[in-house]
């Protein structure tokens, strides 16, 4: 029972390059989320998906796109990476809306030079 799995763990990109961060969960959760964590700022929501086939913007969506491929998988794409996107990215999942806690992956540390 792996929980939430993120790949890759580390990535270095040059400005303008693109990449996709992968996330998969095995808890049969409907909701999935992408957060970024910057030093001293806590986590900020980029995008979320309340159920398979739906996605919606969070607090900081600019420069990102997402795909909810199926119930298990939720990917985050950077089309043209910028140094401001250097961060640690966390994927999370939760049960149905309401009082379900979030289960987090261990993050992807991305550096854009």
**Interacting residues with another protein (CB under 8 A):** 4, 31, 33, 35, 40-45, 48, 50, 56, 58-59, 90, 92, 94, 97-107
Instruction: Considering the complex, state which of residue 19 and residue 45 has its C-beta at the smaller distance from another protein.
Output: 45
> What minimum distance in Å lies between the beta carbon of 49 and another protein?
10
- Quick one: which of 89, 84, 109, 87 has its CA closest to 15? 84
Q: List CB contacts of 108: < 8 A, sequence separation 6 or more.
A: 6, 7, 8, 9, 10, 11, 21, 88, 89
Beta bridge partners of 34: 47, 91
> What minimum distance in Å lies between the beta carbon of 83 and another protein?
22
> What minimum distance in Å lies between the beta carbon of 38 and another protein?
10
Instruction: Considering the complex, state which of residue 11 and residue 17 has its C-beta at the smaller distance from another protein.
Output: 11
Instruction: Considering the complex, state which of residue 6 and residue 85 has its C-beta at the smaller distance from another protein.
Output: 6
Instruction: Considering the complex, state which of residue 15 and residue 57 has its C-beta at the smaller distance from another protein.
Output: 57
Could you tell me whether strands 19-25 and 103-104 are parallel, antiparallel, or unpaired per DSSP bridges? unpaired
**Residue in this structure with the two tokens 């959760």, named with its chain if needed:** 29
């Amino acid at each position: 029972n792996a929980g939430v799995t993120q790949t890759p763990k580390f990535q270095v990109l040059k400005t303008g390059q693109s990449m996709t961060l992968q996330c998969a969960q095995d808890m049969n959760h409907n909701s999935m989320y992408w957060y970024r964590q910057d030093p001293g700022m806590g986590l900020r929501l980029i995008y979320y998906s309340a159920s398979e086939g739906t996605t919606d913007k969070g607090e900081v969506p600019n420069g990102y796109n997402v795909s909810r491929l199926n119930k298990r998988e939720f990917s985050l794409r950077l089309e043209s990476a910028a140094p401001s996107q250097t961060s640690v990215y966390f994927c999370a999942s939760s049960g149905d809306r309401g009082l379900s806690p979030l289960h987090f992956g261990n993050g992807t540390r991305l550096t854009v030079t």
